[in-house]
């Protein structure tokens, strides 16, 4: 027995060591997104004018019990405060159908059970901190464990409820309570100024824990019916799906959910013979990426650009692919979960550098919102510095010209406030990994610019002949970016 325990400990140590070595590697290359989505226009803005809704940084901090609190029922207050300190305007809350309606449909005009009261309290706390809520709801599978027993299941152990109409009605009930002008807003006197307007339907339905695997058509039906109920309560509601994993394995499942002709789903779905497609009901295509973890598991680069490009290809392929289920081209892609890896293997300093690089590359690809998940203190400083400098990062593009390379291999991105000569701009620059330090000269329109580090340190740098010169610190794996702010004093676009 002693040998067995020792052998188990040795095996565990080897496994942990293997995971550490695997995840401590970084992708060797970061291919740029092909044909980036253009920046959003005023006509494309979502949210109906809710304050802060346009912010592209999605808070995703801590744990959840699926009914307004952390695991164990503790309040989310500290997590919300942390998001505010980073300068974020968004937070996140999943809502588990099983937790909110464990014994049957709840009639909120007659009762307000403890789970609903806790969710009310969370929404009020978010409102007090001016945080919009990305409400992942209804969550039927995943951590929720499947539909409540009273709703039944089309197949044992899977997510599709036998009573699909009840799942859709629950979605509508949530929207009627939490949307702007909803029941909670009326009770608290918020009116149209605050409420939940972004709804992500389930979590990683392609295969996480209790899932919709083999039930792609059932999931498309769920999204269609739930979106219809939510939109009936709030026509300006924003519907997100499918929130799939970024490793690439979800793509066949997503295609089955888009291709209404297949009728791919549970026996009950096939027998009924009513086709559904995921595409028409969505305002936003959501997805998850853990760049380090996904790349390590796949044995090849699984960067945000790659995962986004694959998913975008499928949605564009099926725009006109299924008769009766056509939809306009999707412009809104949101990264709603993920960091480098959820184990925290890479050093805090390198994760902070990765965070700034990740933001920049994702925005350059045209991804409209990017997740800020469980940032450590070093990352928090980097996020705060980035949000302060680039509260509106669009447009963001990688540039190969207009700067001078003095030494090394710099990577250079540029955000311009406008096309006019002398308009404000923010450069994001770093040394390519494993190439040593780099020295770069950047053109500037002002006599001095502000330099911002991943730690949030700031310094003024004077221009010489219309250029500033920077030495970029190299790193074998993840070099720290520098933000160079060349804007008129008090420019609201970048600050």
What was the pLDDT predicted at 349?
A: 96
As a whole number, mean pLDDT of residues 437-464 equals 96
423 pLDDT tier (thresholds 50, 70, 90): confident
Are residues 475 and 442 in contact, defined by beta-carbon separation less than 8 angstroms?
A: no
Residue 32, both tokens: 């740029």
As a whole number, mean pLDDT of residues 461-482 equals 95
- Cα separation, 442 vs 415, whole angstroms: 13
What was the pLDDT predicted at 195?
A: 98
Closest CA to 215 of 151, 319, 140: 140
The CA angle 407-395-382, to the nearest 5 degrees, is 65
Model confidence at 493: pLDDT above 50:
no
Lowest mean pLDDT segment, chosen from 41-45, 212-216, 399-403: 41-45
Q: How far is CA 23 from CA 242, 307, 382, in A?
A: 26, 18, 21
What's the chain's average pLDDT? 92
DSSP reduced 3-state for 288: strand
| Residue ranges of E strands in 251-331 | 284-288
| Helix pair 251-258, 216-233: axis angle to 10 deg | 60
Radius of gyration of the chain (CA): 24
| Burial zone of 35 (CB within 10 Å; 0-12 exposed, 13-18 middle, 19+ buried) | exposed
In the chain, what percentage of residues exceed pLDDT 90?
84
124 pLDDT tier (thresholds 50, 70, 90): very high
Residue 432 is given by DSSP the state P
pTM: 0.94
Cα 369 off chain centre by: 6
| Residue position matching structure tokens 């808070």 | 59
The 10s digit of each residue's pLDDT in 297-322 is 888 889 999 999 999 999 999 999 98
23 pLDDT tier (thresholds 50, 70, 90): low
Sorted by where each starts, the structural domains of the chain and their CATH numbers stand as 24-391 (3.20.20.80), 399-486 (2.60.40)
Are residues 330 and 276 in contact, defined by beta-carbon separation less than 8 angstroms?
A: no
Residue 77 phi, psi (nearest 5): -55, -50
What was the pLDDT predicted at 30?
A: 81
β pairing state of 438-443 and 467-472: antiparallel
């Amino acid at each position: 027995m002693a040998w067995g325990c020792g052998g188990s400990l040795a095996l565990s140590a080897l496994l942990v060591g293997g995971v550490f070595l695997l995840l401590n590697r970084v992708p060797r290359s970061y291919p740029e997104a092909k044909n980036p989505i253009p920046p959003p226009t005023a006509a494309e803005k979502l949210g109906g004018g809710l304050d802060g809704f346009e912010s592209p940084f999605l808070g995703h901090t801590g744990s959840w019990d699926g009914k307004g609190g952390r695991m164990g029922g503790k309040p989310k207050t500290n997590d919300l405060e942390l998001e505010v300190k980073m300068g974020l305007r968004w937070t996140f809350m999943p809502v588990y159908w099983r937790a909110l309606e464990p014994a049957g449909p709840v009639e909120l005009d007659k009762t307000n059970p403890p789970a609903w009261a806790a969710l009310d309290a969370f929404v009020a706390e978010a409102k007090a901190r001016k945080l919009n809520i990305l409400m992942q709801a209804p969550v039927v599978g995943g951590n929720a464990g499947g539909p409540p027993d009273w709703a039944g299941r089309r197949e044992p152990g899977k997510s599709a409820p036998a009573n699909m109409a009840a799942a859709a009605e629950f979605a509508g009930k949530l929207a009627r309570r939490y949307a702007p002008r909803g029941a909670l807003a009326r009770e608290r006197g918020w009116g149209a100024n605050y409420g939940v307007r972004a709804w992500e339907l389930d979590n990683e339905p392609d295969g996480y824990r209790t899932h919709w695997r083999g039930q792609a058509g059932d999931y498309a039906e769920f999204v269609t019916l739930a979106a219809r109920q939510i939109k009936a309560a709030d026509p300006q509601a924003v519907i997100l799906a499918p929130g799939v994993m970024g490793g690439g394995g979800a793509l066949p499942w997503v295609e089955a959910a888009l291709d209404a002709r297949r009728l791919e789903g549970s026996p009950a779905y096939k027998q009924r013979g009513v086709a559904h497609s995921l595409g028409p009901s969505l305002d936003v295509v959501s997805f998850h990426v853990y760049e380090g973890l996904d790349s390590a598991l796949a044995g090849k680069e699984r960067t945000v650009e790659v995962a986004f490009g694959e998913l975008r290809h499928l949605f564009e392929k099926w725009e006109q692919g299924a008769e009766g289920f056509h939809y306009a081209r999707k412009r809104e892609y949101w990264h709603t979960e993920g960091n480098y890896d959820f184990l925290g293997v890479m050093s805090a300093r390198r994760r902070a550098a990765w965070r700034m690089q990740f933001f920049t590359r994702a925005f350059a690809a045209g991804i409209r919102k990017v997740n800020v998940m469980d940032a450590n203190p070093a990352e928090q400083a980097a996020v705060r510095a980035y949000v302060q400098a680039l509260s509106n990062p669009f447009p963001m593009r990688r540039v190969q010209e207009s700067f001078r390379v003095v030494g090394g291999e710099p990577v250079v991105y540029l955000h311009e406030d406008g096309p006019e000569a002398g308009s404000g701009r923010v450069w994001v620059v770093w040394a390519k990994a494993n190439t040593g330090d780099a020295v770069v000269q950047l053109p500037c329109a002002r006599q001095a610019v502000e330099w911002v580090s991943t730690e949030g340190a700031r310094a003024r740098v004077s221009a010489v002949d219309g250029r500033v010169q920077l030495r970029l610190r190299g790193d074998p794996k993840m070099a720290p970016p520098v933000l160079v702010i060349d804007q008129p004093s008090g420019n609201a676009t970048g600050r």
